[in-house]
């Protein structure tokens, strides 16, 4: 019968705290995501439509199942022109307000977008030649740039120009 008073003490001892080794967060803190790489088309899988087929369509619309920014040459031109992932993601964001893709006077194809309910202060335009080369991007953020926009092109440091980004 003396064993009965010891049972609660044994149970209490069994429920005591047990210290676990803390997780090593050094590996997580040192993680660097891989850089974005330009897409490479699969041999024999060239697009059957020219980039001009997107004129009049929204950037999220598809032509034969492929969106404007999903085209190999457009994606490559955007990556080559804009080195900053955060800025590049603004151009391809699905939640942006967009206008139909348009052709410029110098025969480039342009896609314009802006932040919902803030188009005057946050907008962007991506321009590309009809063959998918010579990508050029304009990004305007009035909060950080004032009345100027930042223009990006492959191999050139971003440059500031007055005004918003073109939208037609």
| Candidate CATH numbers 3.40.1350, 2.60.40, 3.30.110, 3.40.1420; the one for domain 50-168 | 3.40.1420
> Tokens at residue 6, please?
């010891």
Q: What residue ranges do the domains of the chain occupy? A: 50-168
Beta bridge partners of 162: 148
pLDDT tens figures, 68-110: 999 989 999 999 999 889 999 999 988 899 999 999 999 999 9
Q: Is the pTM of this model over 0.85?
A: no
The per-residue pLDDT for range 110-163, each reduced to its tens digit, is: 999 999 999 999 999 999 999 999 999 999 999 999 999 999 999 899 999 999
User: Quick one: tokens of 71?
Assistant: 């085209």
17-66, pLDDT tens digit by residue?
555 555 556 666 777 766 666 566 666 666 678 999 999 999 999 998 88
Residue in 102, 108, 119, 92 with CA at minimum distance from that of residue 57:
102
């Amino acid at each position: 019968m003396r064993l009965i008073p010891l049972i609660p003490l044994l149970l209490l001892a069994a429920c005591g705290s047990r210290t676990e080794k803390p997780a090593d967060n050094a590996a997580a803190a040192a993680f660097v995501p891989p850089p974005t790489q330009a897409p490479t088309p699969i041999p024999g899988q060239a697009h059957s439509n020219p980039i001009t087929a997107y004129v009049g369509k929204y950037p999220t619309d598809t032509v034969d199942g492929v969106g404007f920014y999903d085209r190999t040459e457009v994606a490559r031109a955007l990556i080559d022109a804009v080195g900053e992932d955060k800025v590049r993601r603004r151009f391809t964001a699905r939640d942006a307000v967009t206008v139909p893709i348009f052709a410029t006077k110098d025969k480039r194809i342009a896609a314009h977008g802006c932040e919902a309910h803030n188009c005057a202060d946050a907008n962007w335009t991506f321009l590309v030649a009809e063959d998918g080369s010579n990508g050029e991007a304009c990004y305007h953020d009035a909060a950080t740039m004032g009345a100027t926009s930042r223009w990006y092109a492959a191999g050139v440091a971003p440059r500031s120009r007055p005004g918003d980004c073109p939208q037609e």
